[in-house]
Amino acid sequence: MELKVDLSRADKLKEKYVNDALESLEKLINKNGKGSEFTGWVELPKNINEDNIVRIEKLAAKMRKNADVLVVIGIGGSYLGARAVIEALKKTYKKENFEVIFAGCDLSPQRLVELIEYLQDKDFYVNVISKSGTTLEPALTFRAVRKLLETKYNKDELRERIIVTTDREKGALKTLADNMGLEKFVVPSDIGGRYSVLTDVGLIPIAAAGLNIRELLSGALTASKEYTVLFKENNALRYAALRQQYREAGKDIEIFASYEPKLNYIKEWLKQLFGESEGKDGLGIFPASATFTTDLHSIGQLIQDGKRNIFETIIYIEEEKFDMAIPYDEENLDNLNYLQGKNFSYVQNKAKEGVIQAHVDGLCPNIVINLPSLDEYNLGKLIYFFMISCAISAYIEGVNPFDQPGVEAYKKNMFKLLGRD
């Protein structure tokens, strides 16, 4: 089964936008568009280094054997992709013998204090991820966690328990790693953070969580062969074209929605991917997220009846690994015995169809991306699909998909208020 993009509940795609998307994909492949120096991710699945994969797998096995926890310290693209994959594939209620915890993605003192308290009686490793090593949130968190490490372990053990993922040639973390003799992995110079989930940045935490990074990369490789082909029926190209058609028609909010809460962090990653790639020069489609049917009881009213500037992209899992039949109830007080014997997935699917019809009737078009099943291979395909679509879409819009100049504005103000020279 393949990832399928269903545009039947969307507006008719105009030829102009398809041609623009084709031209944009050609720029991306030939590396002659804006920000082309950051397009290393396009060919990455075809150029995976086997020795590096083995190294990551061995490190993951060592961490799982010798510790209770891996603390991943990073913000934005340094953590969102890995967390998205892990949250999608781990069991919700099963207590794991080994945990992957994410920190350094906020400035909450309460969360940091609770983290330090939690780690007091745990054996743990730290994977600190930052190209520069000076980004405020992860740098401050790393200081605090490193102090705890120094109280728990001697110098030799300390060197074993800090793994650095940073720039190959320069930066504060590179200097620290060299001075302490820490194990180093690379943030590629030609791949920006939000496109880096298939690099060391994402693969180390994902492997540490016990997931199959080879299958993830295999899915991405399949996608790279499908979605970099220059023909008009390319689904990644058509999705990008339709997004820009909607933007120019005044539909400038895209809700990424799913019926599976395990995809919540996939949607958080998508918000960063599209928000940072397209939101510049007064342009962009605002990326929002929703989990159905839960959010139909909160923002459902607005989607159905509010301002008509919204379209939805639904990620739907076709084949559920786990399912349950609805039991018979003698009293039937809830009047649901008519569903007795049906599976929960059957009800979910009918809910999806009903919601799509209602929203389309309410002038909120729907794009449906059908994921065959929730596993590493299909997530690898989905991740690559969205990255290539996002870059094409930004090129149609006329902006650089790979910079984020607006992010620096708040940093300048913050550092000035903090008294930094």
The C-alpha atoms of residue 84 and residue 261 are separated, in whole angstroms, by: 11
How far is Cα of residue 160 from the mean position of the Cα atoms in its chain? 29
Residue 349: its H or E element: helix 344-361
User: Which candidate in 87, 254, 268, 276 is catalytic?
Assistant: 276
The tokens describing 415, both together, are 């550092």
DSSP structure class, residue 11 = P
**What are the angstrom distances between the C-alpha of 139 and each of 30, 106, 145, 256?**
37, 11, 10, 31
The C-alpha atoms of residue 135 and residue 140 are separated, in whole angstroms, by: 8
Residue 12: active-site member: no
Query: What are 126's strand-pairing partners?
Result: 71, 162
User: Which candidate in 58, 155, 342, 411 is catalytic?
Assistant: 411
DSSP structure class, residue 130 = -
DSSP structure class, residue 262 = G
Q: SS3 helix, strand, coil % of the chain, rounded to 5? A: 55, 15, 30
Residue 276: active-site member: yes
Give the phi and the psi of residue 85 in degrees, each rounded to 5.
-65, -45
- Which residues are known catalytic residues? 276, 411
